[in-house]
Amino acid sequence: MTATPLTLAPREIDPSVDREIQAIVSGGTGGSTCSTDLASNPWIFDTNPGYGPGASMGDIIPTGAPRQGTLPQEYRDAPEEELHERIRAAKATLGDRVVVLGHFYQRDEVVRHADHVGDSFQLAGFAKQHPEAEAIVFCGVHFMAETADLLSTPDQAVILPNLAAGCSMADMADIDQVEDCWAELGELYGDLDTPDAEGLLPVIPVTYMNSSAAIKGFVGRHQGIVCTSSNARTVLEWAFARGRRVLFFPDQHLGRNTAKAMGVPLERMPMWNPTKPLGGSSETELSEAQVILWHGFCSVHRRFTVGQIDKARAEHPGAQVIVHPECPMAVVDAADAAGSTDYIRKAIQAATEPTTFAIGTEINLVQRLAAEHPEHEIFCLDPVVCPCSTMYRIHPGYLAWVLESLVAGETVNRITVPADVADPARVALERMLAARP
Ligand code: 13P
Ligand code: SF4
Nearest alpha carbon, ligand 1 atom 6? 120
Mean pLDDT of 382-393: 82
Mean pLDDT of 421-432: 97
- Residue 228: CB within 6 Å of ligand 2? no
Residue to mutate (ligand 1; options 119, 211, 359; most atoms within 8 A of CB): 119
**167 Cα nearest atom in ligand 1:** 8
**55 Cα nearest atom in ligand 2:** 8
- Residue 56: CB within 6 Å of ligand 2? yes
- Give the least confident one: 68-77, 144-153, 355-364: 68-77
Nearest alpha carbon, ligand 2 atom 2? 298
Q: 3-class secondary structure for 374-435?
A: CCCEEEECCCCCCCCCCHHHCCHHHHHHHHHHHHCCCCCCECCCCHHHHHHHHHHHHHHHHC
- Residue 327: CB within 6 Å of ligand 2? no
Mean pLDDT of 384-404: 89
For 49-69, how does the pLDDT look when each residue is reduced to its tens digit (9 = 90+)?
667 666 676 677 787 788 888
What SS3 class is residue 341?
helix
Ligand 1 center to residue 387 CA distance, Å?
A: 13
Ligand 2 center to residue 360 CA distance, Å?
A: 13
pLDDT at residue 44 is higher than 80: no
Q: Among candidates 50, 46, 85, which has minimal Cα distance to 69?
A: 46
Q: Among candidates 426, 399, 412, 356, which has minimal Cα distance to 111?
A: 399
Ligand closest to 298 (CA) is 2
Ligand closest to 296 (CA) is 2
**388 Cα nearest atom in ligand 1:** 10
Q: What are phi and psi of 100, to 5 degrees?
A: -105, 120
Ligand 1 center to residue 358 CA distance, Å?
A: 18
Beta-strand runs (E) in 317-395: 320-323, 337-338, 356-360, 377-380
The residues near 251 (Cβ < 8 Å, ≥ 6 apart) are: 169, 208, 210, 294, 296, 297, 298, 326
pLDDT at residue 8 is higher than 70: no
Q: Which helix (H) or strand (E) holds 285?
A: helix 283-287
pLDDT at residue 23 is higher than 60: no
- Residue 364: CB within 6 Å of ligand 2? no
Ligand closest to 342 (CA) is 1
Q: Are strands 291-294 and 246-249 parallel, antiparallel or unpaired?
A: parallel
For 283-324, how does the pLDDT look when each residue is reduced to its tens digit (9 = 90+)?
999 999 999 999 999 989 998 999 999 999 999 999 999 999
Tell me the CA end-to-end span of the chain in Å, nearest whole number: 37
Mean pLDDT of 127-150: 96
- Alpha helices for 152-277 (secondary structure H): 175-189, 213-221, 232-240, 252-261
Banded model confidence at residue 12, pLDDT cuts 50, 70, 90? very low
pLDDT at residue 366 is higher than 70: yes
Q: Rg for the chain (alpha carbons), in Å?
A: 21
Q: Is 76 within 8 Å of 31 (Cβ atoms)?
A: no
Banded model confidence at residue 38, pLDDT cuts 50, 70, 90? low
pLDDT at residue 72 is higher than 80: yes
Ligand 1 center to residue 13 CA distance, Å?
A: 32
For 200-259, how does the pLDDT look when each residue is reduced to its tens digit (9 = 90+)?
999 999 999 999 999 999 999 999 999 999 999 999 999 999 999 999 999 999 999 999
The residues near 15 (Cβ < 8 Å, ≥ 6 apart) are: none
- Alpha helices for 26-170 (secondary structure H): 73-77, 80-94, 108-111, 120-128, 142-151
- Residue 394: CB within 6 Å of ligand 2? no
Ligand 2 center to residue 199 CA distance, Å?
A: 36
Structural domains of the chain ordered from first start: 79-167+392-417 (3.40.50.10800), 171-298 (3.40.50), 301-380 (3.40.50.10800)
Ligand 2 center to residue 107 CA distance, Å?
A: 14
Residue to mutate (ligand 2; options 51, 106, 167; most atoms within 8 A of CB): 167
- Residue 390: CB within 6 Å of ligand 2? yes
pLDDT at residue 385 is higher than 90: no
- Give the least confident one: 8-12, 60-64, 348-352: 8-12
The mean predicted confidence, pLDDT, of the chain is 89
Nearest alpha carbon, ligand 2 atom 5? 388
- Residue 57: CB within 6 Å of ligand 2? no
User: pTM of this prediction?
Assistant: 0.90
Cβ-based neighbour number of residue 385 at 10 Å: 17
Give the residues surrounding ligand 1 with Cβ less than 6 Å away: 119-120, 210, 228-229, 298, 326, 340-341
- Residue 362: CB within 6 Å of ligand 2? yes
Rounded to the nearest angstrom, the gap between the alpha carbon of residue 233 and the centroid of all alpha carbons in its chain is 18
